[in-house]
Amino acid sequence: MVTPRCQEHPRYPDPRKCAGCSAAANAAARKATEVQQAAGKEASTAARERAEVRRAAIDGCYACDNDGYLNGRVCHHNETARLAAAKGAAAARAALNQALGGNA
């Protein structure tokens, strides 16, 4: 990493640490902290979103228990997907039947 320094000392930082160089160093340190905090916040947000998605999957799955387990094993909620697919197919069939019946 390049040592932050002011415009008056672009090549070498002032050995006496001029105000500009100090300010640049402080700003860089602050920026680094901000970036770090933002990254931490992002990570926790992602973790929370993952947890919410998992919770929704568990809530929507009739096969597993409240913790997402089915007979002591982690449930992949495939039953939910199958049910939704079956429901979707049934709904599509019903709509088709209705459309055909309505026109006939």
What is the binding site for Zn ion (CB under 5 A)?
6, 8-9, 14, 18, 20-21, 61, 63-64, 75, 77
Determine the Cα–Cα distance for residues 24 and 53; give it in Å rounded to an integer.
43
Closer residue to Zn ion, CB minimum distance, 66 or 103: 66
Residue type, 52: E
Shortest Cβ distance from residue 20 to Zn ion (Å)? 4
Shortest Cβ distance from residue 57 to Zn ion (Å)? 7
Closer residue to Zn ion, CB minimum distance, 73 or 103: 73
Closer residue to Zn ion, CB minimum distance, 71 or 103: 71
Shortest Cβ distance from residue 48 to Zn ion (Å)? 20
Instruction: Compute how many other C-beta atoms are within 10 angstroms of the C-beta atom of residue 63.
Output: 17
Tell me how far the alpha carbon of residue 37 is from its chain's centroid.
Answer: 16
Question: By three-state DSSP, how is residue 78 classified?
Answer: helix
Determine the Cα–Cα distance for residues 89 and 22; give it in Å rounded to an integer.
68
